């Protein structure tokens, strides 16, 4: 996806409590901090950055991925302090399809924060990027992620055996695939 052509500038999206903006190198320590909690990465395919240096590096990779069209990954920042409390992204663009992913510091769970973020990113994907399908891959045990997707009208479409392998342990997990079509998106 040629983001720079379609969007011109990296979008800044504000909701009631959060600001979705491009990640910057100053976010590295906060990213490292909230990822140092196993509850945040338990169901992901990586354990997050393990050092400040790796955190800085991964932010750079994501920002370069925006230029190359692989990923648009936003910091979810507290609107008052601009401190990063999570990230949300669209990636793996193929035709008019993309994948959504997200994670939030555990200190902010169950307050409707990710719902605010997901709604805006789905709007961006369907309305500005012209996608017709957004999909997500979720493992069996990740109840919170399954529930939030259902809240946005994603449909469970299938069960993919040994679909996602962890980048450190190499363990491969079965995943459910969820899909949302542009005409079924309710803000």
Site residues, ligand COA (CB under 6 A): 40, 43-44, 102-104, 109-115, 138, 142-145, 147-148, 151
Tell the smallest beta-carbon distance from residue 86 to ligand COA (Å).
6
Ramachandran angles phi, psi of 26, nearest 5°: -65, -15
Nearer to ligand COA, 4 or 115 (CB): 115
Tell the smallest beta-carbon distance from residue 68 to ligand COA (Å).
23
Tell the smallest beta-carbon distance from residue 170 to ligand COA (Å).
19
Q: Are 117 and 102 in contact (CB under 8 A)?
A: yes
Nearer to ligand COA, 66 or 154 (CB): 154
Choose among 136, 149, 72: nearest CA to 100: 136
Nearer to ligand COA, 10 or 163 (CB): 163
Choose among 140, 142, 141, 122: nearest CA to 132: 122
Tell the smallest beta-carbon distance from residue 29 to ligand COA (Å).
19
DSSP one-letter string for 57-119 = HHHHHHHHHHHHTSEEEEEEEETTT--EEEEEEEEEEETTEEEEEEEE-GGGTTSSHHHHHHH
Nearer to ligand COA, 131 or 138 (CB): 138
Tell the smallest beta-carbon distance from residue 136 to ligand COA (Å).
6
Nearer to ligand COA, 63 or 142 (CB): 142
Nearer to ligand COA, 4 or 153 (CB): 153
Tell the smallest beta-carbon distance from residue 6 to ligand COA (Å).
26
DSSP one-letter string for 112-163 = SHHHHHHHHHHHIIIIIS--SEEEEEEETT-HHHHHHHHHTT-EEEEEEEEE
Distance CA 47, CA 178 (A): 23
């Amino acid at each position: 996806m040629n983001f720079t052509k379609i969007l011109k500038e990296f979008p800044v999206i504000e909701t009631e409590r959060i600001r979705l903006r491009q990640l910057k190198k100053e976010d590295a320590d906060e990213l490292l901090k909230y990822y140092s909690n196993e509850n945040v990465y338990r169901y992901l395919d990586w354990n997050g950055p393990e050092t400040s240096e790796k955190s800085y590096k991964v932010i750079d990779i994501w920002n370069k991925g925006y230029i190359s069209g692989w990923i648009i990954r936003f910091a979810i920042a507290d609107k008052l302090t601009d401190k990063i409390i999570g990230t949300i992204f669209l990636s793996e663009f193929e035709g008019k399809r993309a994948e959504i992913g997200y994670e939030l510091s555990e200190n902010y769970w169950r307050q409707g924060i990710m719902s605010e973020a997901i709604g805006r990113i789905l709007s961006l994907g369907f309305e500005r990027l012209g996608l017709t399908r957004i999909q997500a891959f979720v493992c069996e045990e990740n109840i919170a992620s399954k529930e939030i997707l259902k809240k946005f009208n994603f449909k469970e479409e299938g069960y993919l055996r040994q679909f996602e392998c962890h980048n450190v342990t190499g363990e491969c997990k079965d995943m459910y695939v969820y899909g949302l079509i542009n005409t079924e998106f309710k803000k």
